[in-house]
Chains A and B, each alone.
Chain A
Amino acid sequence: DTEVTQTPKHLVMGMTNKKSLKCEQHMGHRAMYWYKQKAKKPPELMFVYSYEKLSINESVPSRFSPECPNSSLLNLHLHALQPEDSALYLCASSQDTGLWGTNEQFFGPGTRLTVL
């Protein structure tokens, strides 16, 4: 299985809602990532988990809360979002090979989030 799956595909939420995005991979990868991609822009890194521990937080607002329950799952909990948070949220995974390896990241199809 060489896929990264994400659910839901689409999500519409109000600014007072609490929702979660889910990501799953079964490639045995030990690094997992959340990216945010606005329309016609490149993906921007939000969080990195390495061996189920948060290793990078790119100064993301606290209304985004990541969670890595196990090595195959990655969640992104959303609370009190703003309309400008509307974007495509991409999950990725890779073998955590460190600086001396390569870092091919496999991406999921993304969740299209709209905040009203």
Chain B
Amino acid sequence: GESVGLHLPTLSVQEGDNSIINCAYSNSASDYFIWYKQESGKGPQFIIDIRSNMDKRQGQRVTVLLNKTVKHLSLQIAATQPGDSAVYFCAERQGAQKLVFGQGTRLTINP
């Protein structure tokens, strides 16, 4: 079946280091992907998106890479800060309106 998943359920990094969160998807026809951040007690917050006609997109301190050959998506966070602690979800668009979320990675920042 079609699914969106993550390689690691938890990730612990030192403050100031770069973080890399990975996501695998199985539907080669998927054309649009979003990364969301969810802090405790809050709803998911949009971080960055990418369309399938791109392989890289940069935002403020974040970069998303898309490798369509191996159906892999990653989120890179530069100079990780304590406020980056959260669960990160990748989401894959199916059709015009449906988003399918991956299982999530909990990012923990060590001081």
Q: Which A positions have Cβ atoms within 8 angstroms of B?
A: 4, 31, 33, 40-45, 48, 50, 55-56, 90, 92, 94, 96-99, 102-110
Known A42-B104, A102-B49, A103-B99: A108·B93 in contact at CB below 8 Å:
no
Chain B interface secondary structure, helix, strand, loop or mixed? strand
A99 to B51, alpha carbons, bound, how many Å? 11
**A94: B residues at CB distance < 8 A:** 97
Whether B32 pairs with A90 at a CB distance below 8 angstroms is no
Q: Within the assembled complex, what's the spacing in Å between the Cα atoms of A97 and B23?
A: 25
Interface of B toward A, CB cutoff 8 Å: 31-32, 34, 36, 41-46, 49, 51, 89, 93, 95-104
Report the bound CA distance from A56 to B46 in whole Å. Answer: 22
Q: In the complex, what residue of chain B is closest to A42 when comparing beta carbons?
A: B101
Closest Cβ neighbor of A101 among chain B residues: B96
The 6 tightest CB contacts between A and B, nearest first, are A107-B43, A42-B101, A99-B96, A107-B44, A98-B96, A48-B97
Complex CA distance for A10 and B93, rounded to whole angstroms: 30
Q: In whole angstroms, how far apart are the Cα atoms of A94 and B99 in the complex?
A: 12
| Min distance, Cβ B33 to any Cβ of chain A, angstroms | 10
Residue among B51, B89, B96, B98 with most chain A CB within 10 A:
B96
* Cα-based distance from A56 to B93 in the complex (angstroms): 14
Cβ contacts A to B, 12 pairs, < 8 Å: A40-B104, A42-B89, A42-B101, A43-B44, A44-B101, A50-B97, A94-B97, A98-B96, A102-B51, A104-B49, A107-B43, A109-B42
